[in-house]
């Protein structure tokens, strides 16, 4: 863990230096916007499938390019290399990105994340309490919201990180390892929690609600992009707000859409949506305080190599303008 922040920073700087194509600017008018999307069931995905961003930005002759990611940390490579303009990630990646000096802004709260993260175990595994994780193999994606959640759970149980055999795996690697029994537990987020508890022989050992730990999600923009194209940032947030409102008012259709897009059972999708209410709101003082506590906790663990003030990456000006203009219509 002590070497991770420097390694991440080195990779990000290398990517930034080697980037041959700066995604959006190119010195002239904006021609393309690059959006990162994860495997989570976010209204961002609904808007992608419905072509709402494409339709909106086409008015300005701007094309939209999408890139899918396994988790949050790899998206910061894209932000650092100017190959990604917008993305949505969980609480831990933004802290690591800020500590590594990546230039970005949090421009909206996309979820509070109270039930979005949890630790999965197999039924009958004998792991019935957090303390039972001692000596067990637990998979997690490094730097993800699941990563932060796992370490908070370990700390709450009075264990040390060295008491647990933590194995760094991305979701596509961790899932078969969990299914085969190669690992004992998996610290992961939705929709994997619902998928495994509903369609497999898994239980949730603990989630954020049980230990009262928020794992908020954020909408991000590259700082340089926001400086050069503030109107397009507001436009982006308006389209996303449309998707959030559509999901809330058309839940049945949203369940069907997600099930088709991700090839998931409707029961799984409905459970995910019940556990992860989408938001498009300014970032509150409470969330900022929660993030600061997380950043301080990660510094204590040496997961990041310097203390940070999380307020420095918060910019609510765009979301306030987007929501105000939306209300004025």
Of 120, 100, 125, the C-alpha closest to 15 is 100
Q: Report the mean per-residue pLDDT for the chain.
A: 89
**Cα–Cα distance for residue pair 41/255, rounded to 1 Å:** 10
Taking a C-beta distance cutoff of 8 angstroms, is the pair 111, 277 a contact? yes
Question: Under the phi-then-psi rule, with left for phi > 0, alpha for psi from -120 to 50, and beta for the rest, what region is 32?
Answer: beta
Structurally, at CATH architecture level, domain 32-112+216-325 sits in 3-Layer(aba) Sandwich (3.40)
pLDDT mean over 226-240: 97
Residue 191: asked if its preceding bond is cis (omega within 30°), the reply is yes
Edge to edge, the sheet with strand 165-168 lists 165-168, 137-140, 185-189, 117-122, 202-207
SS3 203: strand
Predicted pLDDT of residue 7? 41
117-211: what fold?
D-Maltodextrin-Binding Protein; domain 2 (3.40.190)
Q: In Å, what is the CA distance from 12 to each residue of 69, 79, 169, 325?
A: 16, 9, 20, 36
DSSP for residue 102: -
The length of the chain, given as a count of residues: 329
Helix (H) or strand (E) holding 15: helix 4-18
Taking a C-beta distance cutoff of 8 angstroms, is the pair 25, 222 a contact? no
Predicted pLDDT of residue 329? 61
Helix (H) or strand (E) holding 218: strand 217-222
Confidence of residue 328 (pLDDT cuts 50, 70, 90): low
Q: Which two tokens stand for residue 171?
A: 């979701």
Of 296, 249, 313, the C-alpha closest to 108 is 313
Q: What is the pLDDT of residues 246-277, one digit of tens each?
A: 999 999 999 999 999 999 999 999 999 998 88
Segments of the chain assigned to CATH 3.40.190.10: 32-112+216-325, 117-211
Q: What is the pLDDT of residues 169-184, one digit of tens each?
A: 999 999 999 999 999 9
**Residue 21 pLDDT more than 60?**
no
Q: Which two tokens stand for residue 289?
A: 């305080």
**Cα–Cα distance for residue pair 86/319, rounded to 1 Å:** 14
Predicted pLDDT of residue 23? 43
Phi and psi for 285 in degrees, rounded to 5?
-60, -35
Q: What is the pLDDT of residues 104-157, one digit of tens each?
A: 999 999 998 888 889 999 999 999 999 999 999 999 998 888 988 999 899 989
Residues 6+ apart with CB under 8 A from 259: 265, 266, 268, 269
Predicted pLDDT of residue 88? 94
Q: Which two tokens stand for residue 76?
A: 């910061």
Q: What is the pLDDT of residues 30-59, one digit of tens each?
A: 999 999 998 788 999 999 999 999 999 999
Q: How many CB atoms lie within 10 A of CB 40?
A: 24
Of 272, 300, 8, 291, the C-alpha closest to 154 is 300
Handedness of CA 13, 87, 222, 67 (dihedral sign): positive
**Residue 1 pLDDT more than 80?**
no
DSSP for residue 284: P
Of 11-15, 59-63, 270-274, 294-298, the least confident: 11-15
């Amino acid at each position: 863990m002590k070497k991770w922040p420097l390694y991440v920073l080195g990779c990000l700087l290398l990517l930034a230096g080697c980037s041959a194509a700066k995604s959006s600017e190119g010195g002239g008018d904006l021609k393309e916007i690059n959006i990162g999307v994860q495997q989570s069931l976010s209204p961002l995905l609904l808007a992608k499938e419905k072509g709402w961003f494409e339709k909106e930005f086409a008015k300005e002759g701007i094309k939209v390019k999408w890139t899918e990611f396994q988790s949050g940390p790899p998206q910061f490579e894209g932000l650092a290399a100017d190959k990604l303009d917008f993305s949505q990630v969980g609480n831990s990646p933004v802290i690591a990105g800020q500590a590594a000096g990546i230039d970005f802004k949090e421009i909206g709260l996309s979820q509070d994340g109270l039930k979005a993260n949890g630790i999965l175990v197999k039924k009958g595994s004998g792991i019935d309490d957090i303390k039972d994780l001692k000596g067990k193999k637990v998979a997690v994606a490094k730097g993800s919201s699941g990563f932060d959640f796992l370490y908070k759970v370990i700390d709450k149980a009075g264990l040390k990180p060295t008491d647990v055999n933590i194995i760094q795996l991305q979701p596509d690697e961790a899932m078969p390892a969990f299914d085969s029994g190669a690992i004992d537990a998996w610290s992961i987020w939705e929709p994997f929690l619902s998928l495994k508890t509903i369609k497999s022989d898994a239980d949730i050992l603990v989630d954020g609600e049980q230990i009262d730990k928020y794992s908020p999600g954020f909408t991000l923009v590259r700082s340089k992009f926001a400086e050069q194209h503030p109107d397009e940032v507001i436009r982006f947030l308006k389209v996303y707000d449309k998707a959030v409102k559509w999901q809330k008012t058309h839940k049945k259709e949203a369940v069907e859409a997600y099930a088709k897009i991700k090839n998931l059972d409707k029961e799984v999708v409905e459970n995910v949506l019940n556990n992860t209410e989408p938001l498009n709101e300014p970032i509150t003082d409470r969330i900022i305080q929660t993030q600061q506590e997380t950043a301080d906790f990660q510094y204590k663990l040496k997961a990041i190599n310097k203390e940070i003030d999380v307020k420095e990456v918060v910019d609510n000006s765009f979301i306030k303008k987007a929501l105000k203009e939306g209300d004025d219509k």
